């Protein structure tokens, strides 16, 4: 058995990450890549929960610009996360892994309701658990949903897959001299207004002493190296 630093992990992916080069919707090549990356960590015994956003299909925060009530817009965003979750589940099972899709809102025909003990039992049995529909309530982001689910399943860490190598003091895609933090405290994330995760999500992790790692999900093998304890991305924790 290979050494594992993080035995139970909550992986947060953005909906936008599924777009690939398309600019909208879902790229099947990205799904296949994510499934293969997940398989690498699953094969060494890591218990994995996943939360994915819906920004590639619909963002609740942009609803007001279109004349849509914020609550209705957020509910539309929740449904978008379920579409992405179903697509990801399909890719994961095609790659030969067992999974369960759990929803924060009732959708009996396509997903189980989120029940904490049941989710933990699925993880213990080696099933990948995908949590859809956010928290089930408006005004909460999928980042907050990921923090909440990570705490509920007693994850060792929440890891956020992005397209950059960690947390920087400015946007590394716009500023080539942006400084990357190897480690940083929750408080500094909040003080410096570094938009890693929203305020509620970071605060939840801080209050429950749940470490966060932000890393580049697009680099093959990064997820595996991270769970094995190699220095990948930025580690956010108590000082």
Residue 19 tokens, joined: 């777009």
Model pLDDT for residues 74-120, shown as the tens digit of each residue: 999 999 999 999 999 999 999 999 999 999 999 999 999 999 999 99
Query: What's the pLDDT band for 61 if we cut at 50, 70, 90?
Result: low
* pLDDT, average across residues 161-187: 92
Question: Could you tell me if 221 and 38 are in contact, meaning their C-beta atoms sit under 8 angstroms apart?
Answer: no
Residue 58 is predicted with a pLDDT of 84
Per the prediction, the chain carries an average pLDDT of 93
* Greatest C-alpha distance within the chain: 55
Q: Residue 201 pLDDT > 70, yes or no?
A: yes
pTM: predicted TM-score of the whole model, two decimal places: 0.94
* pLDDT, average across residues 213-225: 96
Q: Can you list the domains of the chain with their CATH numbers?
A: 8-237 (3.40.1160.10)
HEC per residue, the chain: CCCCCCCEEEEEECHHHHHCCCCCCCCHHHHHHHHHHHHHHHCCCCEEEEEECCCCCCCHHHCHHHCCCHHHHHHHHHHHHHHHHHHHHHHHHHCCCCEEEEECCCCCCCCEECCHHHHHHHHHCCCEEEEECCCCCCCCCHHHHHHHHHHHCCCCEEEEEECCCCEECCCCCCCCCCCEECEEEHHHHHHCCCCCCCHHHHHHHHHCCCCEEEEECCCCCHHHHHHCCCCCCEEEECC
């Amino acid at each position: 058995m290979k050494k594992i630093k993080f035995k139970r992990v909550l992986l947060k992916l953005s909906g936008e990450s599924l777009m690939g080069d398309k600019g909208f919707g879902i790229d099947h090549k990205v799904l296949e890549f994510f499934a293969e990356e997940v398989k690498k960590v699953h094969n060494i015994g890591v218990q994995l929960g996943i939360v994915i956003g819906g920004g590639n299909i619909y963002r609740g925060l942009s609803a007001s610009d279109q004349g849509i009530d914020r609550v209705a817009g957020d509910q539309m965003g929740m449904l978008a996360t379920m579409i992405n979750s179903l697509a990801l589940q399909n890719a994961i099972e095609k790659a030969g892994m067992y999974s369960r899709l759990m929803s924060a809102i009732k959708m009996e025909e396509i997903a189980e309701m989120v029940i904490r003990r049941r989710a933990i039992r699925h993880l213990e049995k080696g099933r990948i658990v995908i949590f859809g529909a956010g928290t089930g309530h408006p005004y909460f982001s999928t980042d907050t949903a990921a923090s909440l689910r990570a705490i509920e399943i007693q994850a060792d860490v929440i890891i956020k897959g992005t397209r950059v190598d960690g947390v920087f003091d400015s946007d590394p895609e716009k500023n080539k001299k942006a400084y990357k933090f190897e480690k940083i405290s929750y408080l500094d994330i909040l003080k410096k207004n570094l938009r890693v995760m929203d305020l509620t999500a970071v605060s939840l992790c801080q209050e429950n002493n749940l470490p966060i790692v932000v890393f580049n999900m697009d680099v093959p093998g990064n997820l595996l190296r991270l769970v094995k304890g190699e220095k990948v991305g930025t580690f956010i924790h108590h000082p």
